[in-house]
């Protein structure tokens, strides 16, 4: 009986060892397969990185060639390569719609001004595009666009003055320089952004009668185009 039991234990241990060996072999095989897969993926990653570096180098060479061509064309005075529409619009605005001016009242004092009388800023400091006329004080828009206008007005002691900005005869807004209760000169300034059509006229005028406006270039009218519309 003892011999039978011992024999059974030996058989059981042998099967257990054999089973363990099979598990180890299976796990080793799985590890080998994973290593092979990782090696394969590593090679694929290397290929991807290589292709990206190659593409980057190609793009850089194209950019260098394009910049070289632009520089050569610019130096030779030729037309540059085509620009996007936004840049074309900007170039057209520069070529056809240049408008920027500053003019001042050089006369020491303008007095006895009538109602709705145009204030003429006769001394031109800047007049890019010649859109401001110092003879009648009017600015004419060269193209459709948004324009900025700035006015500074100075009045003499014990006097006040109300001026209006006008577009094609239509009052847009007014401004007041008030020294009526002081023995000092007073000035005020206003800024407007106005959308104008080509040919629209802008000027500054008095609101009512009896104003005295101090000059000596302390009263100034400026304007420029912001962008084309």
Confidence of residue 44 (pLDDT cuts 50, 70, 90): confident
Decide: helix, strand or coil at residue 30.
helix
Instruction: Report pLDDT for 83.
Output: 44
Q: What is the mean pLDDT of residues 96-105?
A: 88
What are the tens digits of pLDDT across the range 1-20? 555 554 555 555 555 555 56
Confidence of residue 204 (pLDDT cuts 50, 70, 90): very high
Of residues 33, 159, 148, the one with CA closest to residue 41? 33
What are the tens digits of pLDDT across the range 136-195? 999 999 999 999 999 999 888 888 888 999 999 999 999 988 888 888 888 899 999 999
What are the tens digits of pLDDT across the range 52-75? 667 767 766 776 676 666 566 555
Q: How far apart are CA 228 and CA 94, in angstroms?
A: 10
Instruction: Report pLDDT for 24.
Output: 67
Longest C-alpha distance within the chain, in Å? 144
The DSSP code for 182 is: -
Q: How far apart are CA 169 and CA 153, in angstroms?
A: 21
Q: What is the mean pLDDT of residues 189-218?
A: 90
Q: How far apart are CA 128 and CA 139, in angstroms?
A: 12
Of residues 139, 164, 148, 152, the one with CA closest to residue 190? 152
**Verdict on whether the full-model pTM lies above 0.75:** no
Decide: helix, strand or coil at residue 209.
coil
Q: How far apart are CA 104 and CA 127, in angstroms?
A: 12
Q: How far apart are CA 103 and CA 151, in angstroms?
A: 10
Mean pLDDT taken over the chain: 79
């Amino acid at each position: 009986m003892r011999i039978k039991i011992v024999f059974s234990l030996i058989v059981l241990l042998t099967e257990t060892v054999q089973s363990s060996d099979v598990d180890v072999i299976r796990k080793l095989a799985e590890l080998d397969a994973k290593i092979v897969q990782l090696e394969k993926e590593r090679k694929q990653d290397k290929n991807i990185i290589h292709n990206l570096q190659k593409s980057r180098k190609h793009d850089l060479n194209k950019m260098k060639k394009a910049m070289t061509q632009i520089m050569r064309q610019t130096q030779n005075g030729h037309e540059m390569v085509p620009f996007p529409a936004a840049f074309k619009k900007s170039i057209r605005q520069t070529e056809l719609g240049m408008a920027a001016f500053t003019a001042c009242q050089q006369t020491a004092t303008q007095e006895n001004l009538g109602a709705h009388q145009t204030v003429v800023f006769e001394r031109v400091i800047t007049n890019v595009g010649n859109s401001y006329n110092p003879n009648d004080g009017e600015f004419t828009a060269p193209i459709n666009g948004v324009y900025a206008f700035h006015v500074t007005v100075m009045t003499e002691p014990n006097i006040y003055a109300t001026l209006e900005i006008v577009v094609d005869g239509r009052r847009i807004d007014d401004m007041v320089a008030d020294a009526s209760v002081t023995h000092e000169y007073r000035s005020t300034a206003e800024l407007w952004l106005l959308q104008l059509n080509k040919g629209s006229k802008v000027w500054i005028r008095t609101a009512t009668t009896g104003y005295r406006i101090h000059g000596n270039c302390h009263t100034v009218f400026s304007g420029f185009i912001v962008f084309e519309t």
